[in-house]
């Protein structure tokens, strides 16, 4: 399905609304391992962020900063008839969730391996040679991904156990990583900034760090505004390494009780 603005999304289940926001180079399919468990108890909406998956880039070639991406999701929520939703983001998607919460559209935020909490802006990086080579191998990707060695080389930075990815799933993930028109611009926008407006967040926030994450790790500063959990045996995409644990973490963080999340009501924040 797609909105009038062209944002591609899928919606399943019933209950409190949960909006799933993927990371850099991803698409809504990255949530596949957890969608069934979530949709059994929640109204689950997974969206392709602008310039990723089947969604077009931001209008007018706007710089895809986390804030700009969040702003583009406001009319998306309006069109779906959602004033607010529980926001669940991975990596870049977590930063987008923070920004969308600042716009008053969040019931809660669950941030899985969040980007943007680093102590200072990161160094810019040139396009990796592997992306250049990978784009030329796109027609052969379903064949290339049959090799466990190829899956390990390409996905060792994103999942703890690349061998567990099927060749079909690995090929799809590789295509999205290599073809996303907003990938380089979104990466540059993230690296030159950081999220610093945490004091303005007024909703419950759960931050989940992943034990084997090779891309981001816990910041060297206190986060008293958030409930912190660790996902053992998981890499940067915990929904693939630990779908059961990730689903339970999301369901707990998005369970409401008298207008508040149960995690907040229990004093775990």
Over its length of 269 residues, how does the chain's per-residue pLDDT go in tens digits?
877 778 999 999 999 999 999 999 999 999 999 999 999 999 999 999 999 999 999 998 899 999 999 999 999 999 999 999 999 999 999 999 999 999 999 999 999 999 999 877 676 665 565 565 667 778 888 999 999 999 998 899 999 999 999 999 999 999 888 888 999 899 999 999 999 999 999 999 999 999 999 999 887 667 888 999 999 999 999 999 999 999 999 999 999 643 445 455 444 43
> How far is 194 from 15, CA to CA, in rounded Å?
33
E-strand spans in 22-84?
43-47
Enter the pTM of the model: 0.91
Q: What is the CATH number of domain 9-124+183-265?
A: 3.40.50.1820
pLDDT at 262: 47
pLDDT at 8: 97
pLDDT at 265: 43
CB 77 within 8 A of CB 85: yes
Write out the catalytic residue numbers: 91, 213, 236
> How far is 69 from 98, CA to CA, in rounded Å?
11
pLDDT at 1: 82
pLDDT at 220: 63
pLDDT at 213: 95
Long-range pairs, 155-160, Cβ under 8 A, ≥24: 156/214, 157/214, 157/215, 157/236, 158/215, 158/235, 158/236, 158/237, 159/235, 159/236, 159/237, 159/240, 159/241, 160/210, 160/211, 160/212, 160/233, 160/234, 160/235, 160/241
Enumerate the domain spans of the chain: 9-124+183-265
| Cβ atoms < 10 Å from Cβ of 92 | 26
pLDDT at 251: 98
> How far is 224 from 167, CA to CA, in rounded Å?
41
> How far is 230 from 134, CA to CA, in rounded Å?
33
pLDDT at 131: 63
pLDDT at 269: 33
Question: Strand 43-47 vs strand 17-21: parallel, antiparallel, or unpaired?
Answer: parallel
Alpha helices per DSSP H over 80-166: 92-102, 129-136, 141-144, 148-155
């Amino acid at each position: 399905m797609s909105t009038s603005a062209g944002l591609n999304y899928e919606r399943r289940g019933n209950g409190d609304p949960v909006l799933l926001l993927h990371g850099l180079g991803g698409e809504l399919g990255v949530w596949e391992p957890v969608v069934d468990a979530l949709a059994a108890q929640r109204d689950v909406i997974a969206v392709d962020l602008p310039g990723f998956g089947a969604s077009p880039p931001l209008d007018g070639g706007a710089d895809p900063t986390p804030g700009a991406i969040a702003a583009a999701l406001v009319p998306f929520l309006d069109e779906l008839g959602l004033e607010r939703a529980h926001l669940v983001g991975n990596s870049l998607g977590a930063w987008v969730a923070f920004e969308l919460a600042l716009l008053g559209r969040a019931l809660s935020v669950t941030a899985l391996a969040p980007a943007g909490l680093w102590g200072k802006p990161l160094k810019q990086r040139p396009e990796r040679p592997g992306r250049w080579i990978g784009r030329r191998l796109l027609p052969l990707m379903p064949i290339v991904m049959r090799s466990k060695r190829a899956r390990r080389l390409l996905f060792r930075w994103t999942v703890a156990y690349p061998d567990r990815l099927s060749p079909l799933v690995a090929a799809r993930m590789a295509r999205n990583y290599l073809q996303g028109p907003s990938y380089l611009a979104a990466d540059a926008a993230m690296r030159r900034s950081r999220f610093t407006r945490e004091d303005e967040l007024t909703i419950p926030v759960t931050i989940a760090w992943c034990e084997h994450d090779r891309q981001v790790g816990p910041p060297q500063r206190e986060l008293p505004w958030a409930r912190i959990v660790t996902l053992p045996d998981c890499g940067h995409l915990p929904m693939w390494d630990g779908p059961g644990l990730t689903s339970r973490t999301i369901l707990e963080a998005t369970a409401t009780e008298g207008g508040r999340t149960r995690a907040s009501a229990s004093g775990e924040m």
